[in-house]
């Protein structure tokens, strides 16, 4: 039986890590596009928790390989990059459903774990078959090619009573959602605006929600 040398094994692991990291960048550009947020270097670096030069170097390599293009100060997925991004995001959202629906994992924890599982295509295929091809993740976000984005950003909803339709997968949304008990279906009443905060009432409690968080909580008018 032939075995790979230690050096070959290390090289494979390094190559795998680079591929995973590249997929992280592409998936992030997809999510920024869903949220209508301009994918500038500072935003990309902040979301991935890396320094701007590190992000710039990675994006440059992705541009060279034809996955990303740059227009002005913003980055966009090419058709080639979009195919990869859709696959990773699809895997992620199916993995979340497996973790929450089958294994009973908390939604916030499921999101973090799914970041590790989203790169394993075979797992996603098996989970998808087992779950019956779900069309959205536990946070209401559509599985690519199966459903459409829905809801209006809470920051633009105006005064009134709404229900949460989905939670964006960016920034500190899940941290706030966990703290406030925000989930798909939660009723939220918008009472007004105070500076950079939205005044809302959730589950009987009145809170000041930062506008950048409110812009990633998508709602529909409550019936």
Instruction: Looking at the structure, give the CATH architecture of the domain made up of residues 152-221.
Output: Roll (2.30)
- The pLDDT, as a whole number, for residue 13 is 47
User: Which residue matches tokens 């920024």?
Assistant: 32
CA atoms in the 13 A half-sphere facing the CB of 59? 26
Give mean pLDDT in consecutive 10-residue pieces for the chain, a chain of 223 residues: 53 55 95 96 95 96 97 96 97 98 94 95 97 96 94 94 95 90 93 94 89 96 83
Q: What is the pTM of this model?
A: 0.89
CATH class for the domain made up of 6-80: mainly alpha
What tokens were used for 109? 């924890």
d(CA 33, CA 103) in angstroms, rounded, equals 30
- Residue-range domain boundaries for the chain: 6-80, 152-221
């Amino acid at each position: 039986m032939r075995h790979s040398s230690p050096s070959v094994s290390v090289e494979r692991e390094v190559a795998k890590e680079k591929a995973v990291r590249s997929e992280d960048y592409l998936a992030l550009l997809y999510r920024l596009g869903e949220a209508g947020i301009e994918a500038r270097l500072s935003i990309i670096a902040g979301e991935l928790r890396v320094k701007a030069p590190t992000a710039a170097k990675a994006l440059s390599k992705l541009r060279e390989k034809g996955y990303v293009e740059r227009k002005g100060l913003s980055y966009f997925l090419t058709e080639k990059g979009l195919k990869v991004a859709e696959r990773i995001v699809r895997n992620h959202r199916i993995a979340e459903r497996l973790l929450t629906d089958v294994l009973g994992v908390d939604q916030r924890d499921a999101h973090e774990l799914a970041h590790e599982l989203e790169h394993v295509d075979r797992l996603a295929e098996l989970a998808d078959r087992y779950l019956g091809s779900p069309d959205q993740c536990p946070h209401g976000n559509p599985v690519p090619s199966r459903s459409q984005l829905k809801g209006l950003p809470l920051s633009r909803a105006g005064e009134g009573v709404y229900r949460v339709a989905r939670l964006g997968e960016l920034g500190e949304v899940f941290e706030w959602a966990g703290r406030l008990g925000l989930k798909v279906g939660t009723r939220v009443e918008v009472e007004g605006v105070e500076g950079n905060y939205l005044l809302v009432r959730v589950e009987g409690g009145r809170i000041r929600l930062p506008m950048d968080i409110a812009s990633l909580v998508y709602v529909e008018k409550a019936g």
